Structure 1
Amino acid sequence: MDARQLIERKRDGGRLAPDEWTAFIRAYAAGQITDYQMSAFLMACFIRGLDRAETAALTEAMLGSGGRLELDHLGKARIDKHSTGGVGDKVSIILAPLVSCLGVAVPMMSGRGLGHTGGTLDKLEAIPGFRTRLSLAEAGAELEAIGCALIGQTEEIAPADRKMYALRDATATVESIPLISASIMSKKLAEGLTGLVLDVKRGSGAFLPELDAELELAGTMVSLGADHGCPVVALLTAMDRPLGRACGNALETEEAIHALRGEGPPDLMDVTYALGAEMLLLAGTAANGADARRRLEGAIASGQAARQFQRIIEAQGGNPAVVDDPALLPQARECELFAAPRRGVVARIEPRSRLLLYTSAGHPPGLVVSSAERLKAILPSTDVPLGILQHASFPLGEAVMLEPSDVVIFATDGLLEAMSDDRELFGTRRVLEVVFAHWTLNAQDMAVALCKAAREFGGAPQQDDITALVIKV
């Protein structure tokens, strides 16, 4: 095999035969192909794409580069769940103990953070002492003893994928449907599963924010599972906003523990129950979706799921007391609640496109300025003051595309209309002067500087609130 020739062929839009995929991947796993060669190959695959047969061949090659979990002797269904990744997604930590306490074996192999998404392994390792690096023998023994193991990719399972996974993150080749599909399915098929549920994230916080791409990803993985006799069910779930309320490793683990104790936020529990129901249906342990949900809710309410998580933690070297006392998880040195004292602006920036969506509720127009000390855009005010309900909708201003280093400023009329003794208004010009004078400050300190400047300009106490919202891109 000539690695350079295969890289060149893929670069030029050619395709590789199954035996060539096998030889190339095995050579990389054995260290006979360098990381810089694989980086070039991954970029060629990313740009040129893989057809259906090539994706299947890549999956088979990565699967065959290592060992497999042999779990037939367990005598029960073996179901896993995999998420394509999102922000605040801690469902796996809830789902594994929840489903396994209902008689289904759950060999859950998870990953670390990739791109902008957090990794389940990183969240689990926030539990003091928790080991995610188990051998196949250790994982098999835990599954036999308690019906669940929460592990990372072992040295034995798909070692080629383990090396490629890290390389894709470093070479900006993550968002490729064939590469994502082959990576996920090579690991999952090595678990000896009888079924797999996929949580394919869609929306602005997903790896593939376009619906057509998400559907293609789901369909590709379902087909790869069928090729190996493993039924796969895929659900599309929303990732336009973080799931639940917590983001960050220890915080998300704490929220997962609260969910197992029956204290989870509704959006998080809805996704958990939907995925869990599909797992029970694939296992044949529930008559229908309603029966599955009833059983899942019962396991949470009775404390059965929380107790199972304690068993998993103890089996993997962690401190099971965190389930009763989440304060044993790592804590921030300083925790403070910041409550908005006044009316304000609701704004959201799409994480990938840097598209700003906002509603300013009758406040003065917003400003977008650049590092070149120029005013780039004025953001028209939206409708009159709004009240917020959980599921309320309200008019948005026209979406604005932001660039790195842009600064967005929204201010109340009390700030812009702060009046000096000479009855001169603070105005937009002085807002811009303050922003450019404090350009190197972070957003919070810049907002403080704006409010301070307006109050000092006015001298006497002002009758209206002086508030600024600053966003730095």
Structure 2
Amino acid sequence: MTAEPFDTVDLIRTKRDGGVLAEAEIDWLIDAYTRGAIAEEQMSALAMAIFFRGLDGTELARWTQAMINTGERLDFSGLSRPTADKHSTGGVGDKITLPLAPLVAACGVAVPQLSGRGLGHTGGTLDKLESIPGWQAKLSNEAMLRQLEDVGAVICAAGAGLAPADAKLYALRDVTGTVESIPLIASSIMSKKIAEGTGALVLDVKVGSGAFMKQPEDARALARTMVELGGAAGVRTVALVTDMSTPLGLTAGNALEVAESVEVLAGGGPADVVELTLALAREMLAAAGRDDQDPADALASGRAMDVWRSMISAQGGDPDAALPTARETEVITAPADGILATLDAYAVGIAAWRLGAGRARKEDPVQAAAGVQLHAKPGDRVTTGQPLITLHTDTPERFGRAREALDGGWSIADASVPERTVIIDRLA
């Protein structure tokens, strides 16, 4: 048995005491942990040391590269068009990927969107698309490349070969209280996105009650860190910091969000969803060198809808099939006249999760039709008895706990409320 070149305990002590890990130490550490040569309790201790001490810019760039090096890198250089991708840090009602990918593809830029599943109160893009009859999340690399060339957009599950170190480290962070570390969040996201091989990347960093980052300064710090990592790896990277204090759009769930996304592609849909979709599309096109295209034209002309239909069909889905509907619904009405002043994204996300739209553990199933439908947004005038929220589920025994989640999650006021700004900041 070959001796390891470094002692894990020495590296833990270095970081615990505020020291800097050398590049060779980081390379060995990530590789050794991935192949099982470092014990889970030792990596837990190191993760906690990083949680408190951080990683400097040089350490973080090397840490991210070492994670990439544990797996494969995709190569899209053979495609006939440039590539751009978008990553959101997750929120409630965040169905933006669904209309965005076909919209950008309709403007001449290929979109290789490797997406994930929901956990807790935040929804997962793959769960949403799986509510479309026949649609398949898993594609081989060859099938993905073929679809990118033929259709221009693909939304699918990331293969196990991309940054396998991240999957292992993410699971460890989840059970050791070290998730909320900006260096570890940034390296987790960017290792997968850089390994994915896209030429340009636009980040949607959410902030607010329904987001991972609650404070604008933390969201900006995360955005800035990821932009720097992308640039260091040769990926043109831009970040928008966007509001997640209120849910995006009027739905939170799976099939409910697909239906709303199709409304956007048809030229309608909620104003905040359209605004953010177009803003991210313009950033992606500019980063890919195609800012001569106006994505609003592709929406209005129906070109984006054509790409959506082709994209769904290419992965076995039927774009004309009826989406699942919940067997049971329950309506929450306004108790008084006035202006809807607040509608808390976290409360809505928890309600949707409790109705069956999300999962507590990765292996849990989800209900395709479960979720929350909103009939008003903050700033809207409401009257006594008017429907405010409709709860959807196949299992009505869930209604009670969903209503509990919404208690205190919205309020009605006499006076008007400040207009919501969806896009808070831009970092490049």
User: Normalization by structure 1: what TM-score?
Assistant: 0.69
Per the alignment, residue 151 of structure 1 pairs with 156
Q: Distance in 1 between matches of 2:378 and 2:187?
A: 39
Does structure 1 residue 300 correspond to structure 2 residue 299? yes
Matched-pair contact (CA < 8 Å) for 2:263–2:269: yes
Q: Which runs of 5+ in 2 are unaligned?
A: 1-5, 348-375, 382-398, 410-428
- Does residue 264 (structure 1) correspond to residue 269 (structure 2)? The answer is yes
Q: 1:336 to 1:443 in 2, by over 3 A?
A: closer
Q: Does 1:332 align with 2:326?
A: yes
Task: Specify the alignment match of 1:84 in structure 2.
Answer: 89
Q: Distance in 1 between matches of 2:176 and 2:122?
A: 16
Partner in structure 1 of residue 225 of structure 2: 220
Which position in structure 1 is the counterpart of 2:168?
163
Q: Which amino acid aligns with 1:335?
A: T
Aligned residue in 2 for 1:318: 317
- The one-letter code of the counterpart of 1:310 is R
Q: Which amino acid aligns with 1:274?
A: A
- C-alpha distance in structure 2 between counterparts of 1:389 and 1:89, whole Å: 15
Instruction: Report the number of matched residues.
Output: 359
Question: Secondary structure at the residue paired with 2:71?
Answer: coil
Q: 2:127 aligns with which of 114, 122, 134?
A: 122
Q: Partners of 1:106 and 1:234 in 2: how far apart?
A: 17
Distance (Å, rounded) in 1 between the aligned partners of 2:377 and 2:118: 33
Give the partner amino acid of 2:311.
I
Would the aligned equivalents of 1:115 and 1:169 in 2 still touch at CA under 8 Å?
no
Deviations 1:176-219 (A, max 9, x none): 21111111111111122221111111223222222222221111
Q: Give unmatched runs, 5+ long, in structure 1.
A: 323-327, 354-387, 394-440, 447-468
| Matching residue of 1:450 | none
Shift of 1:250: 2.4
Structure 1 residues 22 and 389 mapped into 2: Cα distance closer, same or farther (>3 Å)?
closer
Partner of 1:63: 68
CA RMSD, aligned part only?
A: 3.0
Partner of 2:213: 208
Distance 1:180 1:51 in 2: 14
Of 231, 240, 247, 1:235 maps to 240
* Cα shift at 1:471: 4.8
Q: How has the CA–CA distance of structure 1 residues 113 and 34 changed in structure 2, closer, same or farther, with 3 Å as cutoff?
A: farther
Matched residue SS, 1:196:
strand
Letter in 1 for 2:116: G
Contact 2:203 2:238 in 1 (8 A): yes
8 Å CA contact 2:205–2:242 kept in 1: the answer is: yes
Deviation at residue 298 of structure 1 after TM alignment: 2.2
CA distance in 2, matches of 1:335, 1:77: 45
Deviation for aligned residue 1:276: 0.4
8 Å CA contact 2:84–2:198 kept in 1: the answer is yes
Q: Give the letter for the 2:298 counterpart.
A: A
Shift of 1:127: 2.3
Q: Which has the larger radius of gyration?
A: 1
Shift of the 185–471 alpha-carbon distance from structure 1 to 2, 3 Å rule, reads closer
**Pairwise CA distance, 1:345:** 9.3
> What is the alpha-carbon distance in structure 2 between the residues aligned to residue 281 and residue 142 of structure 1?
23
Q: Which has the higher contact order (CA 8 A, sep 6+)?
A: 2
Compute the TM-score of the two structures, normalised by the length of structure 2.
Answer: 0.76
Which string of whole-angstrom CA distances, capped at 9 and with x for unpartnered residues, describes residues 397-442 of structure 1?
A: xxxxxxxxxxxxxxxxxxxxxxxxxxxxxxxxxxxxxxxxxxxx95
2:414 equivalent in structure 1: none
1:3: which partner in 2? 8
- Displacement of 1:275 after TM fit? 0.6
Matched residue, 1:175 = 180
Amino acid at match of 1:319: D
> 1-side partners of 2:146 and 2:108: how far apart?
16
- Shift in CA distance, 351/106, structure 1 to aligned 2, threshold 3 Å: closer
Q: Which residue, out of 196, 204, 209, partners 1:199?
A: 204
Quote the residue 1:249 is aligned against: 254
**Which amino acid in 1 is paired with 2:69?**
G
Q: CA offsets per residue over residues 111-158 of structure 1, 9 Å max, x none?
A: 223554222222222223322222322222221222222122211111
2:413 match = none
Report if the CA contact (8 A) 2:341-2:379 is conserved. Answer: no
Identity %: 49
**1:52 matched residue in structure 2:** 57
Distance 2:227 2:317 in 1: 35
Note if contact 1:181-1:221 (Cα within 8 Å) is conserved in structure 2: yes
